[in-house]
Amino acid sequence: MKKTILLSILLVLSCSFLSHAQWLEKKGDGYFKLSAWFLEADQHYTNSGKIDPNATRGIFNLNLYGKYGLSDNWDIIAYIPFYVKSYQNHQVSEITNETLLEGEEFNSFGDMNLGIEYRLFKTSKFAFSTSLTLGIPSGNNSGGSDGSYQTGDGEFNQILRFNAGTSFSLFKHSLYAKSHIGFNNKTKNFSDEVRAGIEVGTSFLESKLLLLFRSNMVKSLRNGSLDASNSNGSIFANNVEFISIGGEISWKLTKKIGVSFGYNSAISGKVIYAAPSYNGGIFYLLK
């Protein structure tokens, strides 16, 4: 179960990468961000959707995200978690304060995502695009003394997605809304997935302050043959499902540099931590 939970977190990391995507960049423009992501939990959703306790475990990463306009219709996207720490805290007796089980951590490079996005068409208020993201198994799926401290899931996946966006006014205030639906083809006997999400945002103070809300969903097609454990005793996340909600706030320090802070949490799920994640970073706008 420990390995299953941690692999689910990596799936959330993948969703975080996707949800960072802004509108298509103009040719030569770009958005680049250095950020940290953190989650720690002492309970999780089981494979039946109930919440059970677990030893306090967590994962932390430092990552680079970039989106660059090759032309007005084509963008390239990259998410590179160059440092990932998977860990478990010491288990201490509440009565004697004695350490019952030593904690452990494992550090390595994480799974990268590389993608490309194409503008299908655009009107004065609506924009439509499609994207292909490749999940590169560059992390470690068997770290630590018992192999449960993963920094990657060990499989190569491909996510094909359709994106739609619009701008509108509410009480004379400008807002934007984006949505997506996609299919994630997974290998190594993992089940394929349907993914969907929405995002609504608005800006204040002459566009220096950006506030947004987002929700994402992953639904397993349950067509993989991977069991909870294999002959070596390893456990891998399969048939993961969740609905998450979250938000982000960004502040432009200058015309090109800014900072952002975000929060996300699964409000229901299967085989995933029942705890929120946090992220923060600094971004640069290439114009």
Q: Which residues are bridge partners to 170 per DSSP?
A: 173
Q: Decide: helix, strand or coil at residue 101.
A: strand
pLDDT at 20 over 50: no
CA–CA separation, 29 vs 45, rounded Å?
41
pLDDT at 172 over 50: yes
Query: Beta-carbon neighbour count of residue 249 at 10 Å?
Result: 14
Place of tokens 């114009």: 287
Query: pLDDT for 97-132, tens place per residue?
Result: 787 788 899 999 999 999 999 999 998 889 999 999
pLDDT at 66 over 80: yes
Query: pLDDT for 182-222, tens place per residue?
Result: 999 999 999 999 999 999 999 999 999 999 999 999 999 99
Q: Which residues are bridge partners to 119 per DSSP?
A: 129
Q: Specify whether the CB–CB gap between 224 and 234 falls below 8 A.
A: no
Q: Write out the H or E segment, with its range, that includes residue 200.
A: strand 193-204
> What pLDDT, on the 0 to 100 scale, is given for residue 194?
98
Q: Is 203 exposed, middle or buried (0-12, 13-18, 19+ CB in 10 A)?
A: middle
pLDDT at 234 over 80: no
State mean pLDDT over 148-158: 90
What CATH topology corresponds to 2-286? Porin (2.40.160)
